[in-house]
Chains A and B, each alone.
Chain A
Amino acid sequence: ELKVEQNPLFLSMQEEKNYTIYCNYSTTSDRLYWYRQDPGKSLESLFVLLSNGAVKQEGRLMASLDTKARLSTLHITAAVHDLSATYFCAALLRDNYGQNFVFGPGTRLSVLP
């Protein structure tokens, strides 16, 4: 079964703290995507990770990919309120019918003052 899991599903953190969101996927994939969704809005692309060991950073967010462990992480450094949103990871997974983007359930992040 093609499956993407995220941990935690809910995250409440104080400003200036650091935390990591984990994303596991069930089958081989060398492409992992992170998206952000604000309430009532569509999805905004954050990162595309294309190979094992890939690391990308944008502001206070850093994403990495370990294809052998089928694991991606999204690290938040010194959180600020503007980062409050739901974060989704998605893996490009292949089954007998082709390849498909499979999304995780999302991690709802609240950054509290």
Chain B
Amino acid sequence: KAGVTQTPRYLIKTRGQQVTLSCSPISGHRSVSWYQQTPGQGLQFLFEYFSETQRNKGNFPGRFSGRQFSNSRSEMNVSTLELGDSALYLCASRIATDTQYFGPGTRLTVL
């Protein structure tokens, strides 16, 4: 079974731009969560989607948004990028409360 895939793997943007990251979960997994990982803040939960509905949201500004499609693929969007948005963005999928399986991540650098 294929794992969680994320595209792109690396991204360089400048301040003020916006970015869209994509995540394809493991087949059959309907829950997709997004995390931001930085050296200073560690792993922080962004949001979770289940069956196209946002089920839970972390403490991030409204510039961070996401959506999920009917095939469970998910996208997250960050608008008006700031230097502090530079991070590894991880996507994870799961079935119910079973373990999460993480994708390889997208490393975003904001210049």
Contacts and interface: CB of A to CB of B under 8 A. Distances in A.
A103 B42 contact: yes
Interface size class of B (residues with CB under 8 A): 20 to 34
Contact of B56 (A45, A97, A106): A97
Interface in A10-58: 31, 33, 35, 41-45, 48
Contacts of A92: 97
Contacts of A99: 56, 97
B33 A101 contact: yes
Interface in B41-63: 42-43, 45, 48, 55-58
A45 B101 CA distance: 7
A29 to B, nearest CB: 10
Nearest to B41: A105
A106 B42 contact: yes
Contact of A42 (B56, B57, B98, B104): B104
Chain A interface residue bracket vs B? 20 to 34
Contacts, number: 43
- The dominant DSSP class at the B interface is strand
B45 A31 contact: no
Interface of B: 33, 35, 42-43, 45, 48, 55-58, 90, 92, 97-105
Interface of A: 31, 33, 35, 41-45, 48, 88, 92, 97-103, 105-106
A31 B97 contact: yes
Contacts of A35: 102
B104 A45 contact: no
20 contacts: A33-B100, A42-B90, A42-B104, A43-B102, A45-B99, A45-B102, A48-B99, A97-B56, A98-B56, A99-B56, A99-B97, A100-B45, A100-B48, A100-B58, A101-B33, A101-B100, A102-B45, A103-B35, A103-B43, A103-B45
B57 A97 contact: yes
A65 to B, nearest CB: 14
Contacts of A105: 42
